[in-house]
Each structure stands twice: as structure tokens, then as C-alpha cells.
Amino acid sequence: MTDTLTPVLTEPWGVDRSWTREVYESRGGYRALDTAFAMSQDDVIAAVKDSGLRGRGGAGFPTGMKWSFIPQDASTEAGRNPKYLVVNADESEPGTCKDIPLMMANPHVLVEGVIIASYAIRAHKAFIYIRGEVVHVIRRVQNAVREAYEAGHLGTDIHGSGYDLDVVVHAGAGAYICGEETALLEGLEGRRGQPRLRPPFPAVAGLYASPTVINNVESIASVPSIVGNGAEWFSSMGTEKSKGMGIFSLSGHVKRPGQYEAPLGITLRQLVELAGGMRDGHELKFWTPGGSSTPLLTAEHVDLPLDFEGMAGAGTMLGTRALQLFDETTCVVRAVLRWTEFYKHESCGKCTPCREGTWWLVQNLARLEKGQGSEEDLDLLLDQCDNILGRSFCALGDGATSPISSSIKHFREEYLAHLTHGGCPFDPARSTAWASSQQEVTA
Amino acid sequence: MTVSTSSTTGGEPRADLVTVTIDGVEVSVEPGTLVIRAAEQAGVQVPRFCDHPLLAPVGACRQCLVDVPDAGNGRGFPKPQASCTLPVAPGMVVNTQASSPVADKAQQGVMELLLVNHPLDCPVCDKGGECPLQNQAMSNGRGESRFAATNGTKRTFPKPINLSPQVLLDRERCIVCQRCTRFAAEIAGDPFIALVERGAQQQIGIAEDAPFYSYFSGNTIQICPVGALTSESYRFRSRPFDLVSTPSIAEHDSCGAAIRVDHRRGTVMRRLAGDDQDVNEEWITDKDRFAFTWAKQDDRIGYPMVREDGVLRPASWPEAFAVAARGLAAAKDAGGVGLLPGGRLTAEDAYAWSKLARTGLGTNDVDFRSRPLSAEEESFLAAHVVGSGVEGWKDGAVTYADLESARTVVLAGLEPEDEAGTIFLRLRKAHLAGPLRVLAIAPFETRGLTKVGGTLLPTAPGDEPAALSSLLGHADHGVDKDTIILVGERLGLVPGALSAAAELAAKSGARLVWVPRRAGDRGAVETGALPGLLPGGRPVADAAARVDAAAHWGVTSLPEAPGKDADAIVASAAAGGLSGLLVGGVDPDDTADPAAFRAALAAADFVVSLEVRATDVTAAADVVLPVAPPVEKAGSYVTWDGRVRPFEAVLHTPAALPDCRVLAGISEELEALGRGRRLGFRTVDEVRAELGQLGPWDGEAPAFTPVAPVTGGGEGLALATWKTLLDDGSLQDGDKHLAATARPAVVRLSPATAAQVGVADGASAVVTGDRGSLTLPVEVEASMVDGTAWVPTNSYGTAVLARLASPGSRVSVKGADQ
């Protein structure tokens, strides 16, 4: 089954000192740059459009189309304003672990992508906004940018093309909300990270009220291979509407958790096989397709194609392809409570439904987890979710309801079992990483 | 069948309006109108908290969610939309809670969530009874709390914390709608409060070293939709449903801000901003809001007094009137009587003073200017100010709205944030909205000027005439007919400055407006409380005008001898000329020469004082006649833009008489003594009727007599000074919390001047003038002109005219330890 994998971004991860410019260049790095410079900016945008690349940050918006929204007409004020590229490297979604290892192992592919994307949208300044907690990654990207400057990949007259670009690596300050692109812009401008009112949209008035493209790390890192190998090469992978490859990060109760780069449309069954299967003696109970904000699925969904359409068809989202897998030792109520506590902790506080709703959801879930309350409280929980979903200012509030409503949908009986059992019927120790099937751990 | 157009609609339907359907009702609104306000026009009130019509939309509270099945393009929004952030589009269909179960449930859901962490302390909360959260929870929420039913635990905070010495925050009540922070950042430009923390812990905070110091901080309390913000002055003092509310006009400046006065059993408990789009919109200064306790201090005079054997003793009103009239009659015969009404009177009261001078005491020696003045100023007032903007008189005068549409506003001798807060807010609004350019002829860039995006034309005191003249055809700062020149009353003290302003306006086509400091100043000009003017702008020097006024007043003639101005009245009385003084609300320390004023009081044979509270004047008076403070009488203030702002009495205190009633009593006794003719009115309504009949003078206005500027400085530093909004003024007595928010008194120097005199920023310095010395901390101000020292005129301990320097004189500065 190994031929299911299509390592492109992850291809050099095993190479010694893969993160250095020397290694990157020795494997063909920074050559797509010249290909791009030989094309017009609009042709670069067209190539990315043709490739079918869709945003890898979760929403799946076509990347080339996003670039083409940037006003270039010099007769308008927006067209005259400077353009900015901002890379969203604030990877914070529970379960998502693709951008951080990518930047750690292969930062130059991101830098090269930044240069090509900036060239295409006619930006002369780009920002990489990296989650503040991952200091080692920030250092690595800073180093890569420094190396790129030294080699003439950044700065003025790059590769003799006459094109100038400066890149700023910016460290976040520890807020999940700053992964929301307008909150990220607020943070980048030095303000409190809270989402902005739209319109105006960032494509017209984003960073410093100027036209701005905000792309995920993986989206930008995919650009050099598209420019280098051609749009057709990219679109030959994947499914009809979800083209190309993507990094699937598997975590939880699988034997070999990690990042698996494969064409979109691969199934969980295939990925679990690649990861060596579930823990011995255990079977899959539930999983998230794209992080905790995407409604969870169960073992019956393992053969669905992992692409945007396949997941939407199952009432969930592909998200960031953060596959968290839980076996039958896991209490779904407890798992959902943990996630909900995360959202409560990370709610920025701007809008009422998310701020107050997460506060209350945690209390209600905690009661249920302790076996307190009645079946009516499940309906209350669902009604709370209904009053938050689609009522919040941004998608954080929506995401907070996903694990709850989807878990009640699939595991209502398990919630009720807590009530009849007078508490959690599971032994939490059995779900730990150090618990083996042979060795029962007693509290 | 033809449909006849109805004539009752009063005009053609406008083609540029946008028509939307809200709950099945079609409404046409201005393009860009937000759905929440379009719904109001359809008769539907969508519940809201963060929305405020004068603040930028934020969409934070989510209370105003509505269902939009058609956005105008045939497609609907899949989710309910916040109507406070959604502009209308042609053909849009909106269903509010009134017709959409989805919108209703969304609103009920948000309301329930808002109450999750809101305490149930309504019975002890100041907002209870007038609380938008309480009211809308009743109208758009559920009766029973599911949060409480599931034993929910509320988030709590220690109560309360001070955002400033005046403003308190109860964080657990806050629903973080951001109205206060948005007001502070957008309207006032004082962003000293901001959101801190996140999630349910999110709260309003201040930086430890930067409390919420703003002249407009009280507005945040008023627009808070819950009881989170309270004032030290009002907290726990009363319940809203026990209060009686009366609309009124603020008495602290010439802006005429609409206020609402709330009283309970004869005591004013608080004041709120009134809503007047043409004047103050919905904002007032903290002075207008909190400074009302002055009228209720222990030194309030409760009954008339007459001096007997050197001691003041209580007297009945009839006796006091008789004694006052006998004394004034004798003084009139001896050397004459001078009248000093002061600048805080209502127009009706000022008119009574003006008329009594002419018809009762036969003199033009009346001058409301209880502060430094000049003859140039009086000529300017007669030629350029009187009547302008007064309805039905001279049209085309400058209004608040004009400040918003002007291309350029020039400020000369005026610091709006300190001296006319409502003007400041309009200038800031215009600055944020468009290309308004503010040019300030001032000694340094004030915080207020920075907040209106203004440009400083650094000008040392005395150099204003040259600075004004230089604007004509200036390469960068040229002025034209789209310019408004606002001249403050201080400018009248600089010889030639008003002349230069008038010349600049005449040559450039710019419009020129005089902005006085006190609420009664402009009304006193209109009613002739000046030596050279009779009411309605009738010049004393014009025989026809005198005849006109005399005819209205039913007297054969009016005194034609030119009157003395306030300084001359004081000088004459001190020198034994004038024998009697009739003094209104004048603080000797406000006058050009406080010592001379006190000497005049001592020298005069007979002094009658009309005052609210005991002062140096009442202490020296032979007859003291208590008069009502504004809250206890009806009247009108005339604003800087000529707007007549009538108000009725808030408190009805039988013993408190307005000046016009007191003066009428004196005039009747004078008539009985065969001196002059009684005023002919006793009530404010009668004065208003008489003023209406009198009307304005339709003859020639006297020509302005320009004055040449005086050049040359002298030894030491020029002294720049004005009164800050909050200072030691007696109309701020009694609210220590308000006083604590005043800006500290400093002496401001330029870096070069500070270095020259050898003082450093923050050091203590002694400022010495011809009347004494003040010790103040130094503030080195980078934008300050060299060779100038700025000192607040009347902050705590800095009574400049009494204790530092005479008007226009120079001072020296040295380190306190030198």
C-alpha cells in the first residue's frame, strides 16, 4: 500500500539536515522561482487556478481564485495600495500537526512558495505569522529566511528578475483565535487578536487596510511544486473537485502516528493501514477528519473518501486533515468535554454566543460526565449548540459545537449510560498511551 | 384609473432611496442604512446592546440577529444576520423576531447566554429600572433560567474597580458590548480603557499607569446598557423610578448642551446628556454631567440680608428691596451706580439688568464682562457678534453642523476641549469623518488639538494678530470662504487680534464666530448688558436706537452718555467716582485686577449683591439678595452660535427668585422713590414676552474700530494661560470625585526655554509675575513656542490673576531650589 503515498512536501523529511538551504537546493529547490519569474504574474495565478489547489487551512477555498481577487487596477485606491501576502502558520487546532513539522523539516519550500505567491499578487512584503508557542519552529523559519536572503532568493532584484521582496517572520502570542485570518491581521498590526467585521474583506482591505492574501502554510508550500511540475501534474492527483496531495496527520490510538502525505480522496482505512493499524486488540470507535472543530465520525465512515466533498457528504468537513483516532477504551463524553474546555479557554470573548456559550457548555458537559442530570439535559445541550452555531461572530463558536452535537448524534446511548451508571463507565487509564491490552492499569 | 398624488407627503419620492421589506412592510431608507435602523422605520424595535447610532458598528453582542431570506439578490443568508452590521440592499427581505421564529429563537438564545454570567443583583443595581438588559430580557428573553436550573456557576469578580476617580466598573455585570471603549476611542479620543483577558474573563481594563482620564468619561456610564459602569457621585444614591426628570441646558459653557436633570424630593441626584442632534448629539462633558452640587453647598444664601451697624442681618424681601432701592437712589444721586451682572445669567435676567441700568438707575455703566476685557472687544461684539445666528435676525451664521462641513476651521484664543467641549466633539467627529483641517493659533499643541488632527501654528501670546494676518494667501494654511474662524474670548485681550481676525475674514470670505466661555455671555451681549449696547443690538451712540428702545420701554429718553466698562466701573468706584455698585455673580479673582475689585467694593458707599452663595462680594455688600441658581429658575442661554436655548425650572423653591424678579422688586421701590420707572415685569415669561416684542435693531450696526497690534516683548517670558475644563471654579464645588479627574496644574515650557531657565521636566519651578509667585511642576512640551510659559488660569492654587500676573504681563521662571 505504500504506493498510495505521494510525498512531495514531506519527501525530504528523512534527509539529513533537510531544513538547510544547501540540502533544499541540492534537491532542486528554488528552481521553480525562475520558472515563475519567466511567467507573467497573471500566468502564475492562472497556473495555480488550473491546478485546482484549494486552501489547506481547512476551508478549502480555491487558492488561485483568492489571489485573483487582489485588485490590481491602478485607477482604484485599493489597486494603488501596497499588496501583502500573509502566511497563516498559527496552527493551533487540536489534532492538527502538519504545518509545524513541515516548517521544521522543510522550511525552504515555504519560503520559495512565499516568493512565488508574492510575485503573483504583486506584493513586496510578506509576513509569516507563526504560532508563538513553537519557538523552535520560529527559529528554523527565521534561519531559512536569513539563508534565503544570503543566497539572493529574497531582497532586491531576486534572481535578476527585478522583483523585490522582504519577508517578516512574526511570532504570535498564544491565542487560538489568531488562526482566524482577520484576528491574525489584528495581531499582526499589534492590536488585540479579535476577528474583524467583514466586509471589507482582506482581499480589498486587509493588513494595514491594503489588499491582502492570507494563505495556509501548506497551500503556499504546494505552490513551488505546482509551478515546477505544472498544473496538470498537480491536478492528476486527488479527486474531481479536491485536487492534489495533502498531509494527513494521524494521532491517537494508531500504532504509528504521524504525517502521511497522500492524494486527497484517500480513505481512513488506507491511512490506518499505512499507520500500522489500531493498537493491538483494540478497534476504532470514533475519529475527527479535520481537527476537533469538524464533526466527528465513527468506524462506519472509514471508507469515505477524505476530500472536501466526501466529508461534506457525511455532514462534516475535511478541515485540516487532522485525523484523531480513538479506540473503544475512550469515553466520548470525556473527550468532548476536553475539547469544549479548550474552546472555552480560547474563546476570544468578542461575541456573546461563543464567550458565554462555551462557559455554559463546559458546565453542562461536566455534569453529564459525572452522571448528573437527566436525558433532558442532552436536549438542553443540543439547544445550546443550536443557539451558538451560526450565531457567533466567527467560526470558533461554530467549531465549539461540532464535537458536542456530532457525538450526541452518534453516541447518545453512551451519554445516557453516564446517567444510569451514576458517572463515567469507562476506566480512563485504559485509554492512555502507556496502557497495553495485556496490562490492566488499576487506579 | 389614475392615482392622484397626495399632497400630504410633502415632496416627490426620492429616487435614491433603497426600498426593503421588513416583516412584510416596505420601507424606503437612505442608502447605507443599517437594517436595525431601517426596522425602526418599519416600526420594529430589534433588541440590541452593542449597537449605538453614533458609534461604528461592531456586531459583538449578537442580540439583534434577524432572518434575511433575500439579501436583495434573490438569495438569502443561511444563518441569521446581525442587523446592526448589515446595510440595506434594494429588494432585501428581512424578517425580525416579529415575524420569524428563527430570528426570535436566535434572539432568545443570545439573551439567555448574556444572562449566564450576569449577576441577579438588579434589586441593588443602579441601572435597575432603566436597564436595557433588564428591559430586553423581559421583552425578548425567557422567563425561567435554564442556567440556574442546571446549577450553573457564574463567573465572579471582586467589586468594583476604579477606572478613574469618578468612574467605577462592576466587571461581573459587564456584557463587554464595547460601547464604552468605542466611545472613548472614537468620540472622545481618549482610549484609556480597553478589553483585556479573553473568553468569559474578558473585561474592560486600564493600564496601571494610565487611568481613564477623560473630560467625557461620564458618557460611558450613560451608554452602558447594563449597570457595569457607575459614578462615585451617583452610585447607590437612588432608584431611577424615584426620580423626576426635567430637560434642561447645561450652565457651564457657551455650548448650550442639552441635559436631563433627575431630582428626588427637591434634590438633584444626577444629570444626564440630553439628545439634541443639532447641538451636543448625545454627549456632554463631565463638567456638565457632574458639576451640579455647587448650588447646594452650605454657604447657600437662604434669605435677604441688610447691613445694620456693620453686620448683615436677615431681612424680609420687602424690606430688603426698600433698603436696596434707598441706598441705590442715594448712590445714584451721589456719584452714580455701576452694574456688574456677571457672565452666567440667563438672557432674561441679563435683560433685566440691562433695563434696570437704563430705566431705573439712568446709566449705561453696565458690563457683564466679569473677566479681563478690552474696548476692541466691545467694538467687535457690537459690530460682528450681536444678533448673528439669532433666529429671525441674521441668517447664515455658523452652526455646529457647519463645523462638520467646513473645509478648514481656524482656532484662535480658543482651546475647545477645555473651553467649549461640545465644539471639540464636533471637530473631532468632522476630523474622523472627512477632510476637515483644523489650524490652531496657540502656544503649543494641546491634547485636544492632536485629537482633532489639527495643525499647530505656534504662536506666542501677543503674536496672534500677525499669525492671523499670515493666513491670508498662506501657501500651506490659506483660508477661503469654506473656512470658519473660531475666536475665543481670550483673543480680545491681545491688542489687534480681533481686528486681524475681522480683516482676515473680510478679505478671505471666511466666516468668523466668537466663542465665549460662560453660558450667559452671549445672552448678555444680545440683551445689552454692555455700556455701548442696548438690547437687540441697539447702539447707545445711535439716537434713533435709543428712541426706539425708549419707546418700547415707555420712557421719554434713555441715558446717552457713554457707559463705563467693567474695568472703568471698578476704577471709578475705587477712586470715589461711582458711589454705588450693583453686583451679580462675579468672582473678584476672575476680574482683570482682583485687588482693585475688592478695593472698589470697600470704597463704594453702597453695594448690593445678588448671589447664590456667600462670596467676597456678599461679605462686603450692604444688601444681599439671594437669587436662584439655574436649576431653580427658568431662563434661556444663548449659545456661541446664536441659538436660544430655553429651559424651565427643575426645582420649584419658593424662596429662590431669578435675578429679573429681584431687580423688578428693586425697580418698583425705586419708582416709589421717584427714581426711574419700574421694570414692568416680574416673571421670566413676562420678560420673554417683552423681549419678543422688542425684537432686534434693524438699523445700522456700529462700525468696528480696528486696533493696531502692539509689537515687542520685554523682559522674561510671555504668559499663556486659560482655564482648563476642570479646575478650581466655584461651579464645580462639592464633587470631589470630579475634581480628582482634573488635569494636574503644571507650568509648560519649550525644551529650549526650560534649558535656558535651568529647569528640567518634572522638576518644581517658581513662576513669578507682577502679582506674586506660583510653585508648579514643570512639563517640558516639545511643541511649545520658545520664550513662553503656560499656566492654567484657575486650577487648584493657581489663581493667576490674583496671585501671579496681570493680564498681558510677563513672568519669570526658575527652579524651586535655585
Q: For the stretch B270-302, what's the b/e string if a residue is b when 16 or more beta carbons lie within 10 angstroms of its beta carbon?
A: bbbbbebeebbbbbbbbbbbbbbbbbbeeeebe
Q: How many residues does chain B have?
A: 818
For residue A442, pLDDT over 70 is answered with: no
For residue B6, pLDDT over 70 is answered with: no
B225 within domain boundaries: yes
For residue A295, pLDDT over 60 is answered with: yes
CB contact under 8 A, B113 and A197: no
Average pLDDT, integer, range B353-362: 97
B559 within domain boundaries: no
Ramachandran quadrant class, B553 (left: phi over 0; alpha: psi -120 to 50; beta: rest): alpha
Q: Report the CATH number that the domain containing residue A257 is assigned in CATH.
A: 3.10.20.600
B709 within domain boundaries: no
What percent of chain B stands above pLDDT 90? 92
Q: Do A406 and A292 fall within a single domain? A: no
A157 within domain boundaries: yes
Q: Report the CATH number that the domain containing residue B246 is assigned in CATH.
A: 3.30.70.20
Q: Do B658 and B575 fall within a single domain? A: yes
Q: Which residues of A touch B59 (CB under 8 A)?
A: 197, 351, 393
Q: Do A223 and A299 fall within a single domain? A: no
Tens of pLDDT, residues A252-278:
999 999 999 999 999 999 999 999 999
User: Phi, psi at residue A257, to the nearest 5°?
Assistant: -65, 155
The answer for residues whose C-beta is within 8 angstroms of residue A65's C-beta and 6 or more apart is: A49
> Would you place residue B392 in the very low, low, confident or very high pLDDT band (cuts 50, 70, 90)?
low
Distance CA B637, CA B527 (A): 11
CB contact under 8 A, A347 and B150: no
Average pLDDT, integer, range B741-750: 96
DSSP secondary structure letter of residue A299: G
Q: Do B353 and B381 fall within a single domain? A: no
Q: Do A323 and A340 fall within a single domain? A: no
For strands A125-130 and A166-171, give the pairing. parallel
In the block, which residue shows the cell 465520525?
A297
Q: Do B761 and B656 fall within a single domain? A: no
What percent of chain B stands above pLDDT 70? 98
**In this predicted structure, what is the pLDDT of residue B713?**
75
| B195 contacts B176 by C-beta, under 8 angstroms | yes
A443 within domain boundaries: no
Q: H helices of A347-390, where?
A: 352-369, 375-388
Q: Do B336 and B405 fall within a single domain? A: no
Q: Last residue of some domain: B516, B548, B579?
A: B516
In the block, which residue shows the cell 474700530?
B705
- Touching check for B79 and chain A: CB below 8 Å? yes
> Would you place residue B395 in the very low, low, confident or very high pLDDT band (cuts 50, 70, 90)?
low
- Touching check for B131 and chain A: CB below 8 Å? no
> CA of B446: how far to CAs of A74, B381, B634, in Å?
39, 28, 37
Task: State the DSSP H helix or E strand holding residue A44, giving kind and residue range, or none if neither.
Answer: helix A41-51
Helix, strand, or coil here: A253?
coil
CA distance to partner chain B, nearest, from residue A181 (Å): 17
Q: Do B644 and B765 fall within a single domain? A: no
In the block, which residue shows the cell 449548540?
A385
For strands B772-780 and B764-769, give the pairing. antiparallel
Distance CA B93, CA B39 (A): 11
Q: Do A42 and A105 fall within a single domain? A: yes
* B110, B172, B197, B203: best to mutate for the A interface, most A CBs within 10 A: B110
A250 within domain boundaries: yes
A272 within domain boundaries: yes
Q: Do A375 and A315 fall within a single domain? A: no
**Partner-chain residue, chosen from A192, A352, A386, that has the shortest CB–CB distance to B114:** A352
The answer for residues whose C-beta is within 8 angstroms of residue B508's C-beta and 6 or more apart is: B471, B472, B478, B479, B480, B481, B483
CB contact under 8 A, B80 and A393: no
Average pLDDT, integer, range B312-337: 97
A436 within domain boundaries: no
Q: Do B262 and B200 fall within a single domain? A: yes
Average pLDDT, integer, range A83-106: 97
Q: Do B283 and B185 fall within a single domain? A: yes
Tens of pLDDT, residues B103-137:
999 999 999 999 999 999 999 999 999 999 999 99
Q: For the stretch A413-441, what's the b/e string if a residue is b when 16 or more beta carbons lie within 10 angstroms of its beta carbon?
A: ebbebbbeeeebebeeebbeeebeeeeee
Q: Do A259 and A399 fall within a single domain? A: no
Distance CA A228, CA B614 (A): 91
Q: Which residues of B touch A347 (CB under 8 A)?
A: 198-200
Q: Do B809 and B783 fall within a single domain? A: yes
Q: Do A207 and A352 fall within a single domain? A: no
For residue B209, pLDDT over 90 is answered with: no
A180 within domain boundaries: yes
Q: Do B229 and B353 fall within a single domain? A: no
For residue B194, pLDDT over 90 is answered with: yes
Distance CA A323, CA A268 (A): 8
Tens of pLDDT, residues A348-398:
999 999 999 999 999 999 999 999 999 999 999 999 999 999 999 999 999
DSSP secondary structure letter of residue B188: I
CA distance to partner chain B, nearest, from residue A292 (Å): 19
CA distance to partner chain B, nearest, from residue A386 (Å): 9
Q: How many residues does chain A have?
A: 443
Q: Which residues of B touch A388 (CB under 8 A)?
A: 109, 113
| B779 contacts B733 by C-beta, under 8 angstroms | no
Helix, strand, or coil here: B639?
coil
A440 within domain boundaries: no
> CA of B243: how far to CAs of B268, B476, B588, in Å?
9, 54, 37
Average pLDDT, integer, range B482-504: 96
> CA of A320: how far to CAs of A55, A58, A243, A324, B371, in Å?
10, 5, 15, 11, 73
**What is the spatial order of strands in the sheet that B623-626 belongs to?**
B311-314, B305-308, B623-626, B606-611, B580-583, B337-340
Single-letter amino acid, residue A244: G
Tens of pLDDT, residues B270-310:
999 999 999 999 999 999 999 999 999 999 999 999 999 99
For strands B161-162 and B167-169, give the pairing. antiparallel
**In this predicted structure, what is the pLDDT of residue B12?**
65
**Partner-chain residue, chosen from A359, A390, A391, that has the shortest CB–CB distance to B200:** A359
CB contact under 8 A, A360 and B62: no
Distance CA B479, CA B459 (A): 18
Handedness of CA B61, B66, B71, B72 (dihedral sign): negative
The pTM score is 0.95
The answer for residues whose C-beta is within 8 angstroms of residue B639's C-beta and 6 or more apart is: B254, B255, B256, B279, B522, B645
Q: Last residue of some domain: A327, A348, A372?
A: A327
Kindly calculate the radius of gyration of chain B based on its CA atoms and give it in whole angstroms.
Answer: 29
Tens of pLDDT, residues B215-229:
999 999 999 999 999
**In this predicted structure, what is the pLDDT of residue B248?**
98
CA distance to partner chain B, nearest, from residue A192 (Å): 8
Q: Report the CATH number that the domain containing residue B461 is assigned in CATH.
A: 3.40.228.10
C-alpha cell read off for A141: 523559519
| B508 contacts B536 by C-beta, under 8 angstroms | no
Omega within 30 of 0 (cis) for the link into A200: yes
C-alpha cell read off for B37: 435602523
| B184 contacts B192 by C-beta, under 8 angstroms | yes
**Number of independent structural domains in chain A:** 3
B539 within domain boundaries: no
CB contact under 8 A, B60 and A350: yes
Residue B762, domain extent:
717-815
Distance CA B169, CA B192 (A): 14
Chain-wide mean pLDDT for chain A?
A: 95
A356 within domain boundaries: yes
Residue A253, domain extent:
245-327
Q: Do A425 and A346 fall within a single domain? A: yes
Q: Which of A106, A108, A82 is nearest to A208 (CA)?
A: A82
Q: Do A141 and A9 fall within a single domain? A: yes
**Residue B157 burial (C-beta neighbours within 10 Å; 0-12, 13-18, 19+):** middle
Chain-wide mean pLDDT for chain B?
A: 95
CB contact under 8 A, B198 and A351: no
In the block, which residue shows the cell 440595506?
B88
In the block, which residue shows the cell 441646558?
B249
Ramachandran quadrant class, B310 (left: phi over 0; alpha: psi -120 to 50; beta: rest): left
Question: Per DSSP, what are the bridge partners of residue B767?
Answer: B774, B813
**In this predicted structure, what is the pLDDT of residue B434?**
84
Q: Report the CATH number that the domain containing residue B333 is assigned in CATH.
A: 3.40.50.740
Q: Report the CATH number that the domain containing residue B108 is assigned in CATH.
A: 3.10.20.740
Beta strands in A17-147 (DSSP E): 84-89, 125-130
**Number of independent structural domains in chain B:** 5
Q: Do A219 and A358 fall within a single domain? A: no
**Residue B487 burial (C-beta neighbours within 10 Å; 0-12, 13-18, 19+):** buried
Residue A120 CA, chain-centre distance (Å), reads 23
Q: Which residues of B touch A367 (CB under 8 A)?
A: 150-151
The answer for residues whose C-beta is within 8 angstroms of residue A200's C-beta and 6 or more apart is: none
Q: Which residues of B touch A196 (CB under 8 A)?
A: none
Q: Do B801 and B721 fall within a single domain? A: yes
CB contact under 8 A, B176 and A391: no
> Would you place residue B381 in the very low, low, confident or very high pLDDT band (cuts 50, 70, 90)?
very high
For residue A145, pLDDT over 60 is answered with: yes
* B62, B63, B77, B174: best to mutate for the A interface, most A CBs within 10 A: B62
In the block, which residue shows the cell 461563543?
A354
* B81, B83, B111, B113: best to mutate for the A interface, most A CBs within 10 A: B113
Q: Do B393 and B477 fall within a single domain? A: yes
Q: Last residue of some domain: A281, A307, A327?
A: A327
For residue B474, pLDDT over 60 is answered with: yes
Q: Which residues of A touch B57 (CB under 8 A)?
A: 197
Distance CA B247, CA A256 (A): 76
**Partner-chain residue, chosen from B78, B108, B152, that has the shortest CB–CB distance to A363:** B152
Q: Do B505 and B595 fall within a single domain? A: no
Average pLDDT, integer, range A278-290: 96
Between helix B347-355 and helix B684-694 the angle, nearest 10°, is 70
Q: Last residue of some domain: A235, A256, A273?
A: A235
Distance CA A441, CA A437 (A): 10
Average pLDDT, integer, range B218-246: 97
In the block, which residue shows the cell 444663548?
B638
Here the contacts of B46-49 (C-beta below 8 Å, separation 24 or greater) are B46/B83, B46/B96, B46/B97, B46/B107, B47/B97, B47/B107, B47/B111, B47/B136, B47/B139, B47/B140, B48/B84, B49/B114, B49/B132, B49/B133, B49/B136, B49/B175, B49/B177, B49/B179, B49/B225
Kindly calculate the radius of gyration of chain A based on its CA atoms and give it in whole angstroms.
Answer: 22
Q: Which of B774, B770, B776 is nearest to B716 (CA)?
A: B770
What is the greatest pairwise CA distance in chain A? 73
